[in-house]
Amino acid sequence: MDATRTAVAEAARGVGRAPGDVEILPVTKGFPAEVIRYVVAAGFRAVGENRVGEAAAKQAELTDLAESGLAWHLIGHLQRNKAARAIELFDQIDAVDSLRLARRLDAVAESADRSELPVLVQVNASGEASKGGFPVDEAVEAVRKIAALARLRVNGLMTMAPFEASEVELHEVFSRTRRALDACRDQIPGLAAFELSMGMSGDFEIAVEEGATQVRLGTALLGERP
């Protein structure tokens, strides 16, 4: 963990950024619940999970951490029929990839009397058909509509780069996402969205160089999944 923290800090310093400006989100999907205890003991205060059911099972094993302040982020695709359960389990939904999902989350949050649900809007900055999210040229309008929903608070954008891409391609994908967030803030009055979640174990250093405020790290931080 220390080596990964150092690598993130060095990537930030290399482009004149403060290491504290970049958060590491440990991605604990596929790891046993006990790993989350290890993560908390190492000083992390949030984890990322991909599946509602897996997170529910882990939280049932980790009831002693309920008062620890640990935040749970849903970083994978969320099916609309699981929105109600997701709102019960997660502090933030990090992959709002459609207006239909956003509206469903807003309605469920209202039914659950949850006054505010932090979210990130997913953009497909690579243009890959296999990736979810809004095209970057539609990001401003998508964020405008999602931010207008009463119960959702848009904290920023997230994206996923191609798994096999050159450094040049990675820089472009991440810089395109950063520019999309800048455009959202410039064009949507009152929007306070500064989170840029991009970069995973294989490309986080380039993401940091391009302005990521959060990198989502699984194997780079925790080792190979069992």
**E strands within 59-175?**
71-74, 92-96, 117-124, 134-135, 152-158
The span from the CA of 64 to the CA of 67, in Å, is 7
25: left (phi over 0), alpha (psi -120 to 50) or beta: beta
- Domain locations in the chain? 2-221
- For residue 67, the model assigns a pLDDT of 86
- For residue 213, the model assigns a pLDDT of 98
- For residue 130, the model assigns a pLDDT of 86
The span from the CA of 206 to the CA of 8, in Å, is 10
- For residue 226, the model assigns a pLDDT of 87
- For residue 11, the model assigns a pLDDT of 97
- For residue 163, the model assigns a pLDDT of 87
Which pLDDT tens digits describe the chain residue by residue (226 residues)? 899 999 999 999 999 999 999 999 999 999 999 999 999 999 999 999 999 999 999 999 999 998 889 999 999 999 999 999 999 999 999 999 999 999 999 999 999 999 999 999 999 999 998 899 999 999 999 999 999 999 999 999 999 999 889 999 999 999 999 999 999 999 999 999 999 999 999 999 999 999 999 999 999 999 999 8
Point out which residues pair with 157 in neighbouring strands: 121, 196
- Residue 42 makes CB contacts below 8 A (sequence gap 6+) with 1
- For residue 82, the model assigns a pLDDT of 97
Instruction: Tell which CATH classification among 3.20.20.10, 1.20.190.20, 3.30.230.10, 1.10.150.120 matches the domain 2-221.
Output: 3.20.20.10
The span from the CA of 104 to the CA of 108, in Å, is 6
Distance from the first to the final alpha carbon of the chain: 17
Total count of residues recorded for the chain: 226
- Tell me which residue of 159, 163, 160, 169 sits closest to 202, measured CA to CA: 163
The span from the CA of 150 to the CA of 96, in Å, is 15
